[in-house]
């Protein structure tokens, strides 16, 4: 958390449009994957730098250019120059602490969203994905070089999918849909964690569990912060605010919107459930205290009077007639048994035993 803000404070006072990478370096160098298609044809290329193929691409085709490794500033700047992208937007692309947002620049649409990864079901990780959707191209920017979008690449290359018959707006939809689908994996992970914690709470409520609840709650705060603004973005698309998105793509966008709402609903429900778990935890702790106290009270309450009695006859007074009686000892044993019995009946009544 403070790491992140430290990186931001590096930028304090810089003039606007300064393209400075903010975030972790997660890939060695930049990689550009370019996939152009129209009707039955498609061509795929991969470069390390912006080159002539990109600059002189066939404007009749739809081109998807995916850049990973956004910390390599000069690649980003070259792409920006090629596609006439505003320097403020380039600045946002390389600053990975953006809040998800959409900006309509007439020429192109700029969308920032957060991808959520759950590597090995250990931890939720966030990665910023920037999309530039133009009339006949889509640029996608991320830091990591992972395989999230391979499925979409395969669908484009395969003959069956209808993606090749559609425009750049449909490709942008496919990317958004893929990101939102991955949110369900994060939800699954959170849901399982809730179940595990619920069991732990009932069986063994110790501070460790509380800390896990706290961590889970904070994780949800972060997921929520990443997901919530997306609703507004996709809603703006679904309303047809942008001319780049054609009428027949909007129905797909609305489908993504429905998924978003469901994701948000589920997160809110999970938050309510986690809050409820905290109550149960606290109550279990105090119930256990109660039980401990009961045992102490029962033992102490039975034996303290008895100990007094035996102490009484341990006194060394010269004139204590009971001590001389032949049946004194058995009598005192009997009296103590009666006292214990009364105590136990009293506790039974109080429902402590």
Query: Which 72-131 positions form the footprint of a second copy (CB under 8 A)?
Result: 86, 88, 92, 97-99, 101, 103
Look up residue 121 and give its DSSP letter: G
Q: At what angle do helices 328-349 and 247-312 cross, to 10 degrees?
A: 160
Across 198-234, b (16+ Cβ under 10 Å) vs e yields bebbeeebeeebbebbeebeebbeebeebbbbbeebb
Which CA distances in Å does 118 have to 20, 123, 262? 28, 6, 19
Rule CB under 8 A: say whether 351 interacts with a second copy.
yes
- Of 39-47, 49-57, 63-71, 322-330: span binding a second copy (CB under 8 A): 322-330
- Of 71-79, 123-131, 237-245, 316-324: span binding a second copy (CB under 8 A): 316-324
Please list the helix, strand and coil fractions of the chain in percent, rounded to the nearest 5, in that order.
60, 15, 25
Query: Which 247-266 positions form the footprint of a second copy (CB under 8 A)?
Result: 251-252, 254-255, 258, 261-262, 265-266
Applying CB under 8 A, among 26, 38, 117, 294 the residue interacting with a second copy is 294
- Of 25-33, 45-53, 56-64, 190-198: span binding a second copy (CB under 8 A): 190-198
Q: Are strands 125-133 and 109-117 parallel, antiparallel or unpaired?
A: antiparallel
Burial classification of residue 8, based on how many CB atoms lie within 10 Å of its CB (0-12 exposed, 13-18 middle, 19 or more buried): exposed
221: helix, strand or coil: helix
Report in angstroms how near the CB of residue 280 gets to a second copy at its nearest.
6
Of 54 and 277, which has the nearer Cβ to a second copy? 277
Report in angstroms how near the CB of residue 327 gets to a second copy at its nearest.
8
Rule CB under 8 A: say whether 9 interacts with a second copy.
yes
Report in angstroms how near the CB of residue 37 gets to a second copy at its nearest.
15
Of 68 and 95, which has the nearer Cβ to a second copy? 95
Closest by CA to 132, choosing from 97, 174, 104, 96, is 104
Applying CB under 8 A, among 289, 335, 337, 345 the residue interacting with a second copy is 289
Closest by CA to 266, choosing from 211, 186, 210, 197, is 186
Burial classification of residue 50, based on how many CB atoms lie within 10 Å of its CB (0-12 exposed, 13-18 middle, 19 or more buried): buried
Rule CB under 8 A: say whether 23 interacts with a second copy.
no
Applying CB under 8 A, among 44, 48, 58, 188 the residue interacting with a second copy is 188
Rule CB under 8 A: say whether 8 interacts with a second copy.
yes
Rule CB under 8 A: say whether 345 interacts with a second copy.
no
Query: Which 198-237 positions form the footprint of a second copy (CB under 8 A)?
Result: 202, 204, 206-207, 210-211, 214, 217-218, 221-222, 225
Of 14 and 243, which has the nearer Cβ to a second copy? 14
């Amino acid at each position: 958390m403070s790491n992140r803000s430290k990186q931001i404070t590096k930028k304090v006072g810089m003039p606007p449009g300064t393209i400075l990478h903010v975030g972790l370096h997660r890939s060695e160098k930049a990689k550009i994957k370019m996939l152009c298609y129209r009707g039955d044809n498609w061509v795929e290329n991969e470069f390390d730098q912006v080159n002539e193929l990109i600059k002189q691409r066939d404007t009749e085709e739809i081109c998807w250019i995916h850049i990973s490794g956004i910390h390599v500033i000069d690649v980003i700047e070259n792409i920006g120059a090629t596609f006439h992208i505003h320097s403020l937007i380039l600045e946002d692309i390389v600053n990975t602490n953006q809040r998800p947002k959409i900006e309509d620049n007439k020429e192109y649409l700029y969308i920032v969203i957060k991808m959520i990864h759950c590597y090995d079901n250990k931890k939720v990780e966030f990665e910023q994905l920037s999309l530039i959707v133009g009339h006949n191209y889509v640029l996608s920017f991320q830091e990591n070089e992972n395989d999230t979008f391979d499925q979409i690449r395969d669908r484009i290359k395969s003959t069956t999918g209808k993606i090749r018959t559609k425009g750049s707006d449909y490709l942008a939809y496919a990317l958004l849909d893929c990101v939102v689908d991955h949110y369900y994996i994060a939800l699954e992970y959170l849901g399982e964690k809730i179940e595990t914690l619920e069991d732990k709470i009932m069986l063994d409520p110790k501070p460790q569990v509380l800390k896990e609840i706290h961590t889970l709650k904070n994780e949800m705060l972060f997921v929520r912060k990443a997901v919530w603004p997306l609703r507004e973005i996709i809603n703006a698309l679904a309303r047809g605010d942008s001319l780049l998105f054609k009428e027949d793509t909007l129905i797909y966008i609305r489908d993504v919107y429905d998924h978003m709402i469901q994701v948000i609903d589920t997160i809110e429900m999970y938050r309510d459930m986690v809050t409820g778990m905290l109550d149960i935890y606290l109550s279990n702790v105090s119930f256990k205290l109660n039980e401990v106290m009961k045992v102490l009270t029962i033992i102490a309450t039975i034996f303290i009077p008895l100990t007094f009695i035996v102490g009484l006859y341990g006194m060394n007074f010269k004139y204590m007639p009971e001590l001389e009686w032949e049946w004194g000892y058995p009598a005192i044993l009997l009296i103590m048994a009666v006292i214990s019995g009364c105590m136990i009946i009293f506790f039974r009544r109080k429902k402590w035993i």
